[in-house]
Amino acid sequence: MLDLDLSSLFADRGDDDAPEPTVRLLTVCTGNICRSPLAEQLLRTRMRPLDVAVASAGTRGLTGRPMTDDARRLASGLGVAPDDAAAHRARWMDESHLADVDLVLAMTREHRAAAVALAPSRTRAAFTVREFARLAEGLDDAAVRTAARAAGTDPHARVRAVLALLAVRRGETPPPADPADADVVDPYGQPWEVYQRSAAQMLPGIEAVVRVMRAALS
């Protein structure tokens, strides 16, 4: 596995003991050229001006590759700035990318399992994007704010408190009848219609993350 560093995507931490305030999200797929960069760019675009940094990586990242043309086409149609999509280069996920991440948003159960295997401490902070949408559906903004405010003013603690609520809901909410409904279909090498279906499966989770993060950090 290549030992790559995503630290350039995130601002350096200070030398003092105070936690860096920026909340960090990592989106994960396989090659890091279709699903996870699209999710990354949608989250980054839609969460401005929150102090949230978003990066992406792949479990078998096609290192240095740009997004596919159809993934960039999707991104543009969903409001991502062309320069943001054009700047993307694929990366291979390793332990360092998970060290200080507040939320791991995986495209499939396999990707989530890979992230948790690398960083077991992130188990309660790792969700598939469709799972996040399903669990957040019954969690309104008032409940999110109540949990976040009880955790204090530190943004990382606030996000942890809210994700803990979602983790509890895993045991309370019936899973999909078809386990594959927790996954976003891989459009790589597929027709445009599959790219559209992949984005449609992803978008409710993206919207749920944006809503929950805004409520948690407000």
- Give yes or no for residue 208 having a pLDDT over 80: yes
* Concatenated DSSP letters of 169-212: HHHHSPPPSSGGGGSPPP-TTS-HHHHHHHHHHHHHHHHHHHHH
Domain CATH for 51? 3.40.50.2300
Quick check: is 12 in a domain?
no
- Tell me the average pLDDT across 44-65: 96
Quick check: is 29 in a domain?
yes
- Tell me the average pLDDT across 92-106: 95
Quick check: is 105 in a domain?
yes
163-188 pLDDT per residue, tens: 999 999 988 888 888 989 999 999 99
Cis, peptide link before residue 176, omega less than 30° from 0: no
Average confidence score pLDDT of the chain = 91
CB atoms within 10 A of CB 124: 14
Give the domain range for residue 174. 22-217
4-38 pLDDT per residue, tens: 343 444 444 344 555 688 999 999 999 999 999 99
Quick check: is 189 in a domain?
yes
Residue 67 forms beta bridges with which residues?
A: none
How far, in Å, CA of 199 to CA of 108, rounded? 13
Quick check: is 68 in a domain?
yes
pLDDT, position 15: 45
Rounded percentage of the chain residues whose pLDDT exceeds 70: 91
Which has the closest alpha carbon to 202: 88, 83, 36, 52? 36
Split at pLDDT 50, 70, 90, the class of 42 is very high
141-171 pLDDT per residue, tens: 999 999 999 999 999 999 999 999 999 998 8
- Give yes or no for residue 72 having a pLDDT over 60: yes
pLDDT, position 2: 38
Quick check: is 88 in a domain?
yes
Per the structure, how many domains does the chain have?
1
Tokens of 184: 């976003």
Quick check: is 158 in a domain?
yes
- Give yes or no for residue 3 having a pLDDT over 70: no
